[in-house]
A and B are shown apart, each in its own frame.
Chain A
Amino acid sequence: MKRIVIIEDDKITRESLGLLLQASGYEAVIIDDFKDVVKCIIEAGADLVLLDINIPYINGEVVLQNLRKESTIPVIMVTSRDSETDEMLSMSFGADDYVTKPYNPNILLLRIRAVLKRSNNSNEITYRDLDINLQKGIIKRGDEEIVLTKSEMIIFNNLLSNQNKIVSRDELMTDLWNNSSYINDNALTVNISRLRGKLAELGIDDAIETRKGIGYILI
């Protein structure tokens, strides 16, 4: 389980963030003493940090600078400051992403997943006896090879990273739109059935189940 440290001075926000992350299968570590944030982050042994800019004692950008002297752990800045200058500054101090408040929880989760994936640097994953190349959009079984369209790959990848959990249509839609696939409801249904068909061609016809009214699940 990936461990995420939350550094956020608003109590309700950090507790809700904690709940959100736990519900999405992460381990959340909430820091509420801001005296030595960098030390706390290092000691927590986290995989990712959600860092607010406006925190007591010390500015989040300074925390980031100090953290970068000791660690390359991925950092997502989460802040209500939305100017280009703030973002440029954070990115130049070594932030991996920059999300402005208020954020759509779905998108925040997608950004977290993307940053974690980038730091893992894995383009090749497996599912049952399939080899999947995310970059090329290819799934392989032995010598058999099938090419997925961009939208199909986004859906498959999402289901795969949430394997054995129900993914709502809305979550899939957010992921698609977040990756510039601006499709509508019907197209989503079409894409899912095409994906099922392609998986069936490789001999897996029970992979994606529909949970009526809730969403889809990859088994």
Chain B
Amino acid sequence: MKLGLFLKDRLYIIIIFIAFYVVNLLFLLASKVDLFLILFFSITLFSIIACVILIEYKRRKDFYDTLITNTEKLDKAYLVLETISYPNFYEGELLYNNLYEINKSMSENVGSLKKQVDDFKEYVEMWIHEVKIPIASLSLLLYNNKNLYDKKTMKIVSQIDNYVEQVLYYTRCENLEKDYLIKRTSLAKVLANVAIRNKDDLLENEIDLEIDDRGISVLSDSKWLEFILNQIVNNCIKYKDSNKESHIKIWVVDTKNKTNLFIEDNGIGIDDGDIDRVFDKAFTGVNGRKYSKSTGMGLFIVKNLITKLGHGIEIESKKGNYTRVTIAFYKNSFYDVVH
């Protein structure tokens, strides 16, 4: 709160006061009152008005200054009322009470929206578990009926399953609650699951898969990790280069502070202009437009899950040459102490 602006706001008081003072001064002079008395009278008057204005200023300044600076400092500005004390002047009280009511109504509003979203997410999770049952029945029915069973129909079933799973992990990655469990996870096992899920696709596309996990295990949630690696491998398959013999190489490098998992393909690569945005929500880029069927959600969800798990992810690529994704599993000395 600035004194100058405060005085400007109170200018009418000062003007009225000065006008009143001049009239009185003229009256006193005309009445031939002793000059000393007039001086005393003037000083008293000016002191009183200055005191009144300064006290008024001080009471407001304390309240408004804390309000303003706290609002600036807080990253959740709507919590500011919790940080200031109840004002000791009338207008402040009015403001405080009103802000309180506004806040309350807004949090009720946000609360009811949050509940709606939570309910919806809960429903989606439940629905996904429900829909998996008929998908499972379908794949069994197809398998038992040799007339219907072939690679193509099974591929369609597994595509449905993949899309359903993506929705599940999307709701999970946006959730604030932790529904994962970090434990020592064998990379070999997770990679084997990913490989077998993509077996038909890889064989059909004649993509060689080389995995060298060196028997290393990391701290992670195996289900989440499987989803993440599956998305990345799906991309490797989707963006393969049909003009050369394709391969996907997966290997692990273990250092003191972290374990790096590399997934490299020799596919079409990513444009330099796109590479920084591949993790953005709904970003499809040049490749996504060219090869259609891209929602731009896969890597966005991957990035979110990785962040929640406390791992790191990086992607580098040379157009027409290779794409390499690196996942960093940081070692946690605390976990080792506990276990």
Please give the residue numbers on chain A whose beta carbons come within 8 Å of chain B beta carbons, in ascending order: 10, 12-13, 16-17, 19-20, 23, 54, 80-85, 87-88, 100-107, 170, 173-174, 177-180, 182, 184-185
Contact = CB atoms under 8 A, between A and B. Distances in A.
Contacts of B209: 182
A84 B180 contact: yes
B139 A103 contact: yes
Nearest to B133: A10
Contact of B196 (A12, A23, A177): A177
B144 A101 contact: no
B225 to A, nearest CB: 10
Give the size range of B's interface with the partner: 35 or more
Given A10-B133, A173-B199, A177-B199, A88 B181 contact: yes
A102 B139 contact: yes
B241 to A, nearest CB: 17
Main secondary structure of the interface of B (DSSP, over half): helix
A110 to B, nearest CB: 10
Interface in B145-183: 151, 154, 157-158, 161, 179-181, 183
Contacts of A177: 192, 195-196, 199
Contacts, number: 95
Contacts of B208: 182, 184
Interface of B: 129-130, 132-141, 143-144, 151, 154, 157-158, 161, 179-181, 183, 188, 191-192, 195-196, 199, 202-203, 206, 208-211, 221-224
A103 B144 contact: no
A119 B181 CA distance: 29
Contact of A81 (B129, B151, B188, B199): B129
A173 B209 CA distance: 14
A80 B133 contact: yes
Contacts of A101: 132-133, 135-136
Contact of A102 (B144, B161, B188, B206): B161
Given A81-B129, A178-B192, A16 B140 contact: yes
Contacts of A180: 188, 191-192, 195, 211
A23 B203 CA distance: 26
25 contacts: A13-B136, A16-B137, A16-B144, A17-B140, A20-B143, A23-B144, A54-B129, A80-B132, A83-B179, A83-B223, A84-B180, A84-B221, A84-B223, A84-B224, A85-B179, A105-B140, A105-B143, A106-B143, A173-B203, A177-B192, A178-B192, A180-B195, A182-B202, A182-B211, A184-B203
Contact of A10 (B137, B144, B196, B199): B137
Given A101-B132, A104-B154, A105-B139, 7 more contacts: A16-B144, A17-B140, A80-B132, A85-B179, A100-B132, A177-B196, A180-B195
Contacts of B211: 180, 182
A87 B210 CA distance: 28
Nearest to B182: A84
Nearest to A82: B223
A184 B206 contact: yes
A23 B146 CA distance: 11
Contact of B132 (A102, A170, A173, A185): A102
A30 B136 CA distance: 17
Nearest to A179: B192
B92 to A, nearest CB: 51
Nearest 6 Cβ contacts at the A-B interface: A16-B140, A102-B136, A101-B136, A80-B132, A105-B143, A84-B181
Contact of A20 (B135, B144, B203): B144
